[in-house]
Structure 1
């Protein structure tokens, strides 16, 4: 999990580094301080340099505190992850021009050698901004009586909802489950509760309010279903009478 960052920092044992090995871990910490971070003066690094000392952990904790390490846990892997990221950031800041050039060259080289993956999904080859695609979406919306939006992708999203809800296999087998019944609600005559100063805005606000109430009703229905499902489990516990004892 540290290999890429260790390789980027030119660490000599990036391939077989073991974070759980005390010697390897301590040697890496002092190497990072000596070569990349350089927060302490050379003479102040002795506590970290003495990797065999029993006081090394104490000096290491002080070192993290001096670096303002935000990692609050005692997990070694998380602390090292932050140290490596900090060292990479410092290394890049010291050699911005060098790494910018290397990055662009590597990207160009990798792109030239990266095999092209041919997708078998026909949707991946569609141009969603082409005139033919927009025409097809608008024609489909007209067939399904969906109001067209200036953004054809929003129109496509509305068409998708209609198809999923009204033209699914379940809906076609049981049309009564999706056909809206009852008398239409006269939202034009409903009391909005406030006046926006414009008739058209008031009508739009009424529709938005009804949609919001519909969403709340749907949410409440789902909550009730969850409560019933939980009660079905907790209100009817199964008892194993074989475990019971009679007498003393």
Structure 2
């Protein structure tokens, strides 16, 4: 067993990928490999697709969504983060924070007469509407295809307290699975959103994050045809984001911790 990457268990699989749960101290990815002092519980999503750089592309897709959430959060659209942090990538898959909790809860209850009572998931409507305004559909693929009354791709961290008489679940949940079959991005609408809100996003996000979002969009649209100078800039911006994110996670739960290192 490597001290840098410890396999914990299988975390599930779908039509596009399989997930390993790991404790990890080494994080390869765009901008270089980063080592953390503390091991971090993560998901490694290994894609079934043989498309070139599929892992890096999914990392960037996830990063766009996460940084948009940071903006929505700062603006007060909702008040609990529902997107995990992407942390690294390889050509075949990518790494993100593991979301602890239950992967199934009911979207509907049945009352004594058999009538379906919809369950209100706190923050869900605000969350979906915020991303929809930017051309990203996060409500897609969130119901079990074999039983639409049950959820999927939402990890609820405390799925208790709801009932027929009180059909409401709290906001302690995370949306997962950003594969192409689960989450679609309308890049024309997203780029238009970025253009309309550029000044406000720059004011509310850390320096460089707006550029990272925009250049990530360009890479996902143009791939290897992207201007090499812009790709070089994207690489540096992603490295800064990953160093910042992993530095934060590296100190979570401990009084002090060694610094993260870039190799």
Structure number, greater radius of gyration: 1
More strand by share: 2
TM-score (structure 2 length as normaliser)? 0.19
Q: Which has the higher contact order (CA 8 A, sep 6+)?
A: 2
More helix by share: 1
